[in-house]
Amino acid sequence: MGVLNNNKYLFFAMKIIERMAIAMMTLVVIVIPTVSQKKAEEPSLPIIYSSKYNVSVLGEDFHQFNTKKFKQMVDYLTTQCGIRKSQLITPSKITQKELLKVHKPEYLKSLNESRNIAQVLEMPSLRFIPITSLKSGLLEPMLFGAGGTVLGVKKAIESGWAINLSGGYHHAKRDHGEGFCFFADIPIAVKCLWEEKPHSKVLIVDLDAHQGNGVSSILGDDNRIAILDIYNSHVFPDDENAERFVSYNIPITRQTDTRTYLGLIDKWLPLAIKEHKPDLIIYNAGTDIFILDALGGLSITEQGIIKRDEKVFKAAVDNSIPILMLLAGGYHKKSGEIIGKSIENLLNTVLKGKI
């Protein structure tokens, strides 16, 4: 009987151990997905980027366009600002239907020929490059960039602010491209907005070094739009016809310095906001105003650019106006780093507590 009792106790002990083991295994199964779930729920930022933004033709950099600036920006944000790539929002490519809200079908069809792409880029030699290479290495990144602008408007309205790490193709017109710009992303994004919110008033603040003639020629005669454009009047495009549609047209001279430039923003931006009372600001933040930029012809320092962006965002935040920032032009090799530093400053000042 003693042996039987011992066997009985041993049997029950083993059952208990077995059940404990099963319980522990169940606990492990529960814990592991919980950790994964926390990673999946990592908060995103309304900063829009795709690796497909990066431009190259036949695997090579080309033109005065700084094709590395997109990667430079993201590298800076991830290494210096503690932002993970998983926190950035990935856009879809803009659709043909969206493009046709602004562009003529004949123009879009013309982009199937290398010579027409070469003309927009002012690089005659590109007409000898196969169209498949130009589409994949050049047009495709800009189609994703334009898609990022359309998405950026939605995210800005949802979150109060957004930054598309591309876009701002402000020279493109309905029936042709020019000045390295193929797709009129700002007018397209505004048209998409108006389909959902037809009464929305938009202030376009264009602080690229070059006149935003494409945007003004497409949107400028609509009373829901106001445009503040501060630009070097001695460089491309010198489009007098487009100037007629700019509400606050501020041409400046070559080598305008940082102090003068920031003073103009202090004078004109509050006035534009007060008079137009916008529901959204779209900010074209070109870094081609940088003193070392070969195409801008202005003398704005790196710190001046960072301060400029801060002033525009502060004006939007102080007036509770959603704002979308686009990158527009910037051709110096430091452009990506400057933009990264500026976004870092925005996150630490004006946007602090709004993330």
Positions marked catalytic: 171
Bridge partners of 57, per DSSP, are 60
Count of C-beta atoms within a 10 Å radius of residue 301 = 17
Q: Which residues contact 28 (CB under 8 A, 6 or more apart)?
A: none
Q: Pinpoint the alpha helices (H) of 100-170.
A: 105-110, 114-120, 131-134, 140-159
285, 331, 326, 288: which is closest to 309 by C-alpha? 285
The token duo for 111 is: 């982009």
How is residue 1 written in tokens?
Answer: 């009987």
Task: Give yes or no for a contact between 258 and 180, defined as CB atoms under 8 angstroms apart.
Answer: no
* Spatial contact of 289 and 209, defined as CB atoms under 8 Å apart: yes
> DSSP assignment, residue 142?
H
Three-state helix/strand/coil letters over 207-252: CCCCCCHHHHHHHCCCCCEEEEEEEECCCCCCCHHHHCCCCEEEEE
d(CA 274, CA 268): 10
Distance CA 167, CA 180 (A): 12
Distance CA 20, CA 219 (A): 70
- Compute the distance between CA of residue 311 and CA of residue 314 in angstroms, rounded to an integer: 5
Contacts of 216 (CB under 8 A, 6+ apart): 227, 229, 242, 243, 245, 246
